[in-house]
Amino acid sequence: MRDLAAGFGYLVKGQRWVARHGRWWGFGMIPALITLVGYAAALVALFFWTDDVIDWSTPFADGWPSPWLDVFRGALAVLFVGVCLFLAILTFTAVTLLVGQPFYESLSEQVDISESGTAPESGLPLWRELWIGLREAIALVIRVVLWGVLFFALGFVPVIGQTVIPVLAFCVTGFFLTEELTSIALLRRGVLLKERRRLLKGRRMFTLGFGVPLALAFLLPLVAVFLMPGAVAGATLFVRDLMGEEARADDDEDGDDDRTQPGYPAAPYPSSSPSAG
């Protein structure tokens, strides 16, 4: 329980950080707004055809008597919508982070600067970071789709499919969200996907405490837009704890430090460069 509370605490701290640095909050919302427009149109169309998808996928139930047919297909419709939201939440974050790589990179750096006066640097050119981000995002989306298919199939199991499976889906969603959001700060520290997974699995409850509340909040699309900058800031603070990094003694609690304003250059931080392989 302590790790769950600590993980949630970093989510709150991230929102507080962007609240104290309002210009960075607006700066970080731009990529999320761009991505939201496309996702909103896709989800509206998908949910409009939910009943047709369920009818097509369950022809064996056509002859079932009422009310069992309606109950069965109604439960599957709810599960289908849940799986679509599961995929949308995770891919929304991945796409937003990819679209907003320069935005969130700068935001994450400023959080580090406000905490310790320096910001780790990967030493890689921007195009290499974008390539690594794209490659890791594709790998994550593949895993998300596989999990989504599994949860949809398990939804056919009576009772468990409509109770236990949605809870598990939110836990998996929370873990993946944390994995995505911490990628920016960890890549700057030379930590690639495989090692990132190992670190997060080593602090599983800590990770879920950060990611699951965010997954629940992200069910509301507009909330996702407003929380995204704070989620990136909180993920950076989360990473500092995960890596055992200490904050400087004279942290600027008032949020007036010029170094945390857009456009201020990040201080150099020695770091080993990750390979692109």
| Structural domain spans, the chain | 2-244
Poorest-pLDDT segment among 106-110, 205-209, 224-228, 265-269: 265-269
Evaluate whether 50 touches 81 at the Cβ level (below 8 Å): yes
Residue that the structure tokens 């009943």 belong to: 51
Please tell me what DSSP assigns to residue 255.
S
DSSP code, position 222: H
Query: Does residue 180 sit in helix, strand or coil?
Result: helix
pLDDT range class, residue 207, cuts 50, 70, 90:
very high
Tokens of 247: 């904050």
Q: What is the residue whose two structure tokens read 């430090």?
A: 257
Specify the pLDDT at position 64: 80
Residue 274 has pLDDT above 60, yes or no: no
Q: Which among 169, 181, 170 has a CA at the least distance from the CA of 212?
A: 170
pLDDT at 112 over 90: yes
The values of phi and psi at residue 45, to 5°, are: -65, -40
Q: Is the pLDDT of residue 277 over 70?
A: no
138 vs 114, residue with greater confidence: 114
With residue 150 as reference, give the H or E element that holds it.
Answer: helix 126-154
pLDDT of residue 62: 76
Structure tokens at 154: 């398990």
For the chain, percent of residues with pLDDT exceeding 70: 87
CA dist 61 and 249 (Å) reads: 66
- Give the model's pLDDT for residue 265: 40
Instruction: Report, as an integer, the average pLDDT of 210-216.
Output: 91
Q: 184 vs 73, which has greater pLDDT?
A: 184
In whole angstroms, give the CA distance from residue 139 to residue 107. Answer: 24
Token output for 70 = 């309606």
**The pLDDT of residue 101 is above 90:** no
Distance CA 78, CA 97 (A): 29
User: At 118, is the secondary structure helix, strand, or coil?
Assistant: coil
Q: Inform me whether the pLDDT recorded for 216 exceeds 50.
A: yes
Cα 110 to chain centroid, rounded: 20
pLDDT band, very low/low/confident/very high, at 68 (cuts 50, 70, 90): confident
pLDDT at 247: 66
